[in-house]
Amino acid sequence: MPDSTTTAAILPAQQRVDAILSRIAHAAALADRKASDIELIAVSKTKPATAITPLIATGHRCFGENRVQEAEEKWPELRGTDGLKLHLIGQLQSNKAEQAVALFDAIHSVDRPSLIDALAKAMDRQGRRPDCFVQVNIGEEDQKGGCAIADLPATLARARDAGLPVVGLMAVPPLDVEPAPYFALLAKLAARHGLTGLSMGMSSDFETAIMLGATHVRIGTALFGERG
């Protein structure tokens, strides 16, 4: 019997999208929330345009990419569809800020002063202001991006002073541990700083994230199958 990731890869696109939306709705109902308040970001990193177009054909319009260069290669030919929104969910180098502002509708990895300054300059030059999430290194892991929890107030102040449209926080909990405490902590931090956006939850844990307040869930494997 095929596992869930194999099934995701072979099921028709509409069934894949509907299955995830159904799970989002169920988790939202359990948390006494509206499913419409939760954005499903279909994470298409490493997937070719031929894997993305079937999801677009279902009417889905919100996608996520990890790398600026990969998005630049794939998305110009896909952006002709009305209403498409593209989210950058991976780490962003300051020298790619100009391209990121031009291409993405939301950037989820704002995490340091140099990047804040580069994004502010790019936004001013282009007159384009993508939504920004400040990424928090919620598990205090050396190998992960995100500002330290202790640095969050200063990071938010700098981003706001620079004119970035900060709409929320983003985090990726440590692997192979219960994610709920980390999601709860991110929600607490967001509330403390007057932010309503919470980008948290992936294929393996998005229902838990929704129960704890996620407004944006980043789903790749459950929609596209394992990355090649």
Domain boundaries, the chain: 4-224
pLDDT of 226 higher than 80: no
Q: What angle do CA 16, 19, 20 make, to 5 degrees?
A: 90
Residue 2 is predicted with a pLDDT of: 43
Higher pLDDT, residue 38 or 82:
38
Tell me yes or no: is domain 4-224 CATH 3.20.20.10: yes
Q: What is the spatial distance between Cα 146 and Cα 152, in angstroms, rounded to a whole number? A: 9
Summarised one tens digit per residue, pLDDT across range 119-161 is 999 999 999 999 999 999 999 998 889 999 999 999 999 999 9
User: What pLDDT, on the 0 to 100 scale, is given for residue 11?
Assistant: 80
C-beta separation of 112 from 87 below 8 A: no
Write down the pTM of the prediction: 0.93
Residue 228 has pLDDT above 60, yes or no: no
Q: Which residues pair with 132 in a beta bridge?
A: 107, 166
Average pLDDT, the chain: 93
Distance CA(167)–CA(54), nearest Å, equals 30
pLDDT of res. 81? 74
